[in-house]
Structure 1
Amino acid sequence: MSDRRSQLESLSIDREDESAPGGISIPVMIAIVLIFSALSAGGTWYLMRSAAPEAQPVAALPAPAPASETPAESPAPASARPAQRTSGLVATGYVVARRQATVSAEITGRISELLVEEGARVEQGQVLARLDDTRARIQLDLLMAQREAAATRPRALLAQLNEAQTVLQRAETLAAREIGSQAAVTAARAQVDSLTAQISAARADYQAVAAQVRAQEDLIDRHIVRAPFSGIVIAKNAQVGEILSPASAGGGFTRTGVATLVDMESLEIEVDVNEGQIGRVTPGQRVEARLDAYPDWRIPAHVEAIIPTADRARATITVRVAFDERDTRILPDMASRVIFVE
C-alpha cells in the first residue's frame, strides 16, 4: 500500500516552482493585467467620445458642370426652370372678347341665302347672308330708264338752242341793216335764253336721277350682309326665309341678326379685384392665368388695364388681363383664375 502511494507521489508535478513571489500563479497575474488593460481602454474611449463635438450634416455640393458645356449653350426650357414665387392675390373672372358683334343688315328684308355655319372662320368683308332684293332691282331698272331719258333731253334742247342762236344772229343782222324789226331780235334772244335755262334744268334733272340710281344701287348692296372684321362665327341667329329687321325686338320669324362674330385675337380676361387689394396690381404686371377647363395649364399673361371705376355694390374694381400667347383652346366666356406674379 505504501509502495503504491509512493509511486503516485513520484508521478505528481510540483507547482511551487511556477508560482510567482507572493503565492500568485503567473496565469492568474496575466489574466488580471488583461482585464485592467481592457477596462482602461474602454474608459478612455468613452471619455473621448463624450468630449468630442457632435458632427454636423454636410450639405451636398452641386455637381460640377460637364466640361462639354459652354456659356453659349441655350437656356433651360421654361418647364425646367424653378417656378416664380407668386403673391397671395388671386382673382377670378371670365374670358371675354374685346371685339364681338351680332352682324345684321341695315334694312328689313327676307333672308334668301345664308352662307355661314357655327365655327366657320370668316374674313373682313366676306358675304355672310343675302336678303331678297327683287323689288329693289325692279326699282333700279326704272330709275336707270329715267336716267337715260334725262340724258337725252339736254341733247335735244342743245339742238334747239343752236337753231335759236342762228335766228337771233339773222334778226340782229337785219335789224342792223334796218330791214328787220327790233321786236324780232328781242323774240329771238328770249328764245335763246329760254332754251339755255331748259338745258340747265335738264342737266340738273339728269344729275338728280343719276343720284337716285346710285342710291338704289347702294340700297341693293345693303341687302348683302358682310363680316365687319375677321373672326369666328360662334352662333347662327337666323335661317333662310325668316325676316331680318335690325329695328325689331326679335321673336317669331323676325330676327335682329344673322350671326354672332368674335375676333379671337381680342380675347382677354376680366377679373374683379377687391378694393383693398387693388394697390397690389399695376399695369403691365405679370400674371399667371389658369382656365377651369385646363387647371394644369399655366398661361402667361399681363395686366392690360385697370378700369378706373369701382363697383359700389361689390366693392371691386375690374382689371383687364391680356394673354401673352394665343391658343385655340381659349374660348369666350370660359371661367378663369389669375395669380398676380410678384
Structure 2
Amino acid sequence: MSSRRIVTALLILVVAAIGGGAYWWKLQGDRLPDSIAYGNGRIEAQTVQVATKTGGRVLEVLVKEGDLVEQGQLLARIDTNELDASLAGAEAQVTAAKDTVAAVKAQIAQRTSELKYAQQDLKRAETLVIKGHISQQEVDQRQTTKETAEAALAAVKAQLANAESSVETARAEVRRIGTLIDDADLKAPIAGRVQYRLAEPGEVLAAGGRVVTLLDLSDVYMTIFLPTSEVGRVYIGAEARIILDAAPEYVIPAHVSFVAANAQFTPKEVETRTEREKLMFRIKIKIPAELLREHIEKVRTGLPGEAYVMMAPETAWPEQLVVHLPPPAQ
C-alpha cells in the first residue's frame, strides 16, 4: 500500500471518528431525563356547532371558512316570514284578550251596581215589614234578588281572572315567537375561527340543522398517550411543553388538563417511544388561553408535534425545552 493510500485511509478514519463522536454527543444532549414523559400528537381545539333552533330557509351566510369571528357576531340569517305571521296573530290575541278584560270589568261594574240596589231594596223592605206595610213574602223575594246579585257579581269576577290569565298567556306567546325570530339571527356563541360552512343561502334546514362549525381558539390542546409506567407520575396541572413540526424552533408552554382514568389500547395513528407497552392512558396538554389570545392569528389545528410532561415538580427543564415563543400577533 502506498503512503498516499495510507494517509487517505487515516483521514477517513479520523473524520468518521469525529462524526461518530459528534453524533453520540448530540444524542446525549437530546436525551430526556427520567422526570420528563414524551408523546406525539396533533393540535386540536374544541368545536362549537352553530345550528338553527327551528326549521327554515337560509337567507344568507355572512362568514367564510377560516374567518376569525368575535363572540356575538352575526354569522347567518334564517327566513322568518312564517314566524312573523305567527307573531302578528299572537299580538292580535293579546289585543282581543285585553278587550275581553275591559268587557268583563264593565260587567263587574254593572253587577256591583245591581247588588248595591238589591241590598238597599232589601233594607227598605225589612223596615216596611216591621211597620206592616208589606208582607214577609215580599221581603223574602227581595232577599232572593240580593243573593242572586251577589252570585252574579262573583261569577263575573271569576271571568275577570280568566280573562286576565288569557292576556298573560297571549303575551307569553308573543315573547316565545319573538325569541324564535331573534334566534333566526345565528350569532357566534364564542370568539373563534370558522372551521366549516355547512349550509348555503336557499337551503331549507330542519330544526337543529347545522350552519357553521366554529373552533374555540381559547381551548386549544394536544392529546398524547403515555404508558402505565409514566402516567402514575403525571398529575393535573403539571407543566408541559409543546414543539410543533411546522415550527421546531419554538417551545410552547402548556399544562396537563386531563388524565384518563382508564387505560386503552394505543390508537394506530399514534407513535410511542416504546411499542412494547400496548395499554396507554390519554393525556390532554392544554395551551394557556392568554397565550392563545396573544398569538390568535397563528393558531392552527391539525398540526403534528410533540408534547413533553414534567413529572417531577420544581425541576428545571433541560435547555432544549426552555420556553421560546414567536412574537405576538399584531
TM-score with structure 1 setting the length = 0.66
Whether 2:281 is the aligned partner of 1:317: answer yes
Relative to 1, partners in 2 of residues 1:187 and 1:333: Cα closer, same or farther, differing over 3 Å? same
Shift of 1:282: 4.6
Report the AA paired with residue 173 of structure 1.
Q
Q: Distance in 2 between matches of 1:150 and 1:195?
A: 15
Whether 2:51 is the aligned partner of 1:87: answer no
Match of 1:53 in 2: none
**Higher mean C-alpha deviation, range 109-118 or range 216-225:** 216-225
Equivalent residues of 2:59, 2:201 under 8 A apart: yes
Match of 2:192 in 1: 231
Structure 1, unmatched stretches of 5+, are 1-82, 248-255
Q: Distance in 1 between matches of 2:255 and 2:106?
A: 76
Equivalent residues of 2:108, 2:157 under 8 A apart: yes
Report the AA paired with residue 281 of structure 2.
I
Q: Deviations over 1:106-148 (max 9, x none)?
A: 2211111212112222222222111111011101101101101
User: 1:146 is paired with a residue of what secondary structure?
Assistant: helix
User: 1:118 is paired with a residue of what secondary structure?
Assistant: coil
Relative to 1, partners in 2 of residues 1:288 and 1:154: Cα closer, same or farther, differing over 3 Å? closer
Q: Distance in 2 between matches of 1:165 and 1:280?
A: 83
Relative to 1, partners in 2 of residues 1:166 and 1:294: Cα closer, same or farther, differing over 3 Å? same
Q: Distance in 2 between matches of 1:165 and 1:321?
A: 76
Match of 1:333 in 2: 302
Whether 2:85 is the aligned partner of 1:138: answer yes
Shift of 1:191: 2.3
Q: Distance in 1 between matches of 2:308 and 2:150?
A: 91
**Higher mean C-alpha deviation, range 304-313 or range 157-166:** 304-313
Q: Deviations over 1:160-208 (max 9, x none)?
A: 2212211211122122111762232233223222221221221121122
Whether 2:247 is the aligned partner of 1:294: answer yes
Relative to 1, partners in 2 of residues 1:226 and 1:330: Cα closer, same or farther, differing over 3 Å? closer
Equivalent residues of 2:219, 2:287 under 8 A apart: no
**Higher mean C-alpha deviation, range 262-271 or range 282-291:** 282-291
Q: Distance in 1 between matches of 2:84 and 2:154?
A: 39
User: 1:187 is paired with a residue of what secondary structure?
Assistant: helix
Equivalent residues of 1:87, 1:340 under 8 A apart: no
1:185-200 equivalent positions in 2, closer than 5 A: 185-200=146-161
Q: Distance in 1 between matches of 2:165 and 2:30?
A: 75
Q: Distance in 1 between matches of 2:31 and 2:241?
A: 11
1:4-153 equivalent positions in 2, closer than 5 A: 86-87=32-33, 89-97=37-45, 99-153=46-100
Q: Distance in 2 between matches of 1:282 and 1:214?
A: 49
1:138-217 equivalent positions in 2, closer than 5 A: 138-178=85-125, 181-217=142-178
Q: Deviations over 1:202-230 (max 9, x none)?
A: 11211221122122112222222121211
Equivalent residues of 2:53, 2:180 under 8 A apart: no
Q: Deviations over 1:80-118 (max 9, x none)?
A: xxx997337531111111x31121112211111212112
TM-score with structure 2 setting the length = 0.69
- RMSD, aligned CA: 2.5
Q: Distance in 1 between matches of 2:309 and 2:53?
A: 44
Relative to 1, partners in 2 of residues 1:339 and 1:185: Cα closer, same or farther, differing over 3 Å? closer
Match of 1:276 in 2: 229
Q: Deviations over 1:244-288 (max 9, x none)?
A: 2355xxxxxxxx311111121211111112233434645444433
Report the AA paired with residue 161 of structure 1.
I
Q: Distance in 1 between matches of 2:118 and 2:238?
A: 93
Shift of 1:337: 1.4
Q: Distance in 1 between matches of 2:235 and 2:163?
A: 68
Q: Distance in 2 between matches of 1:225 and 1:176?
A: 70
Find the structure with the greater CA-based Rg: 1
Aligned residue pairs total 251
Q: Distance in 1 between matches of 2:236 and 2:106?
A: 76
Q: Distance in 2 between matches of 1:287 and 1:198?
A: 71
Q: Could you tell me the percent identity over the aligned residues?
A: 27
Q: Distance in 2 between matches of 1:209 and 1:199?
A: 15
Match of 1:305 in 2: 258
Q: Distance in 2 between matches of 1:259 and 1:108?
A: 15
Match of 1:72 in 2: none
Relative to 1, partners in 2 of residues 1:275 and 1:155: Cα closer, same or farther, differing over 3 Å? same
Q: Deviations over 1:286-324 (max 9, x none)?
A: 433221222333333333332222114641111122335
Relative to 1, partners in 2 of residues 1:177 and 1:121: Cα closer, same or farther, differing over 3 Å? same
